[in-house]
Amino acid sequence: MIDAIRRGETRAVARAATLIENGRAGSWLAELRSLPVSAWVVGITGPPGAGKSTLVDRMAREFRAAGKTVGILAVDPTSPKTGGAILGDRIRMQALAGDPGVFIRSMATRGSLGGLAQATEDMVALLAAAGRDVVLIETVGVGQSEVSVASLAAVTVVVLAPGMGDDVQALKAGILEIADVFAINKADHEGAAGLRQDLMSFASVPVIETVATEGKGVRELIEAIRGCVPGGQRPEAGARRRDSTSGFAIDHLGVAVRSIEAALGFYRDRLGMGEPRRETVDQEQVHVAMLAAGGPRIELLEPASEDSVIARFIAKRGEGLHHVALRVRDFEATIERLRSGGARLLNEPRAGAGGHLYVFVHPASTGGVLLEIIKDEEHDS
């Protein structure tokens, strides 16, 4: 069984999948579990109706065009009457059915919570052992607390669609926090720009707009996923999220520029970082353009008046790195430690770009760089 699976024989893989789902796998399953997983394991999750199945279909086609073999685990809700599932996800992927480089397995949740089926982890091990380069896990339509996919996938894509309104706020405490990448599907619908701005203000992860029915934005989405896997190597599932448990994370790098539009000629047009989120911070007399960069963001700062801090900085030092922004969980306690330790604070806590509270610390206290301390609104204690 193991030899046939590792040769990628479709019948052997399908038979093993059935045995795993029915809880009848033999001793070979333990050997499968012990094998290293070299595949990219990507979780695709989000609320019902966001277009996850169509997006997964298009992503699989894009991976195939790049010569990658793909395994798809599509999890459907279980019928309370029969214990089976309609398997609608598989129906929407008929274009892939005849491709030997794609293995699709629809799974019923069978009462499991969290958006996955109980056997999903073993199915990932199976498809990885069968030599699939990429394993896409599509969860059922999930709500706020169904976040199990984040513990299994190396990269988690949360798919949303315009028209959610205040639902973004309601989801903050759960599913939004597991995203390594956001995909705004149906981005040709009204409200996509507002949803993008909400997401960019919420988290420092890539936000990609897609129209899955037309294949638009899918290549950019895959590139964003690739950016979460440095050097092409698969990180431990959830490793990026656990790295932030220290309570400190770099939020953004502030770059002083004479003209945001001129700077975007490089960052947006030539480098391809996408359209920024813009605003003006009146109290600092500065225009701001925030660019997503897959983690810490890049904040372009253009003076709004000749006597602003940014204007004086540029006049003295020219364009360049202005400050580093550090997001902290325990904001008040951090500020108190800085004060008691004699650090030179340049302002009292106040609201800045995006509405977050911040304090600047003078370069004389930090070793030569202006440091912005930002309150982490989602985790601050």
Q: Residue 282 and residue 49: Cα distance in Å, rounded?
A: 40
pLDDT in tens, 76-91: 655 545 444 455 445 5
Q: Is the pLDDT of residue 226 over 90?
A: no
Q: Which token pair is 259?
A: 């003209």
- The per-residue pLDDT for 364 is 93
Residue range 308-313: average pLDDT?
94
Residue range 295-302: average pLDDT?
88
Highest mean pLDDT pick, 108-122, 134-148, 201-215, 241-255? 201-215
* More confident site: 214 or 378: 214
Q: Residue 74 and residue 251: Cα distance in Å, rounded?
A: 34
Collapse the DSSP code of 258 into the 3-class scheme (helix H, G, I; strand E, B; otherwise coil) and give the result.
coil
Q: Is the pLDDT of residue 235 over 70?
A: no
Domains of the chain with bracketed CATH: 2-241 (3.40.50.300), 247-375 (3.10.180.10)
Average pLDDT, whole number, for the chain? 81
The band of 92, judged by pLDDT with boundaries at 50, 70 and 90, is low
Lowest mean pLDDT among 296-300, 311-315, 369-373: 296-300
Q: Residue 101 and residue 198: Cα distance in Å, rounded?
A: 38
What b/e string do you get for 295-321 counting C-beta neighbours within 10 Å, with b at 16 or more? bbbbbbbbbbeeebbbbebbeeeebee
Residue range 128-141: average pLDDT?
88
Q: Is the pLDDT of residue 211 over 70?
A: yes
The band of 144, judged by pLDDT with boundaries at 50, 70 and 90, is very low
Residue range 337-359: average pLDDT?
86
Q: If you search the block for the tokens 């969980």, which residue do you land on?
A: 329
Please report, rounded to a whole number, the percentage of residues in the chain having pLDDT higher than 90.
42
Distance of CA 240 to the CA centre of its chain: 10
* More confident site: 150 or 214: 214
* More confident site: 233 or 368: 368
The band of 70, judged by pLDDT with boundaries at 50, 70 and 90, is very high
Lowest mean pLDDT among 97-111, 112-126, 300-314: 112-126
- The per-residue pLDDT for 139 is 84
- In this structure, the chain runs to a length of 381
Q: Is the pLDDT of residue 370 over 60?
A: yes
- The per-residue pLDDT for 168 is 57
Angle at which helix 52-65 crosses helix 218-227, to 10 degrees, equals 80
- The per-residue pLDDT for 65 is 93
Q: What is the largest CA-CA distance in the chain?
A: 75
Lowest mean pLDDT among 148-152, 231-235, 283-287: 231-235
The band of 181, judged by pLDDT with boundaries at 50, 70 and 90, is very high
Q: Is the pLDDT of residue 36 over 50?
A: yes
The band of 233, judged by pLDDT with boundaries at 50, 70 and 90, is very low
**Beta strands at 277-281 and 357-361: parallel, antiparallel or unpaired:** unpaired
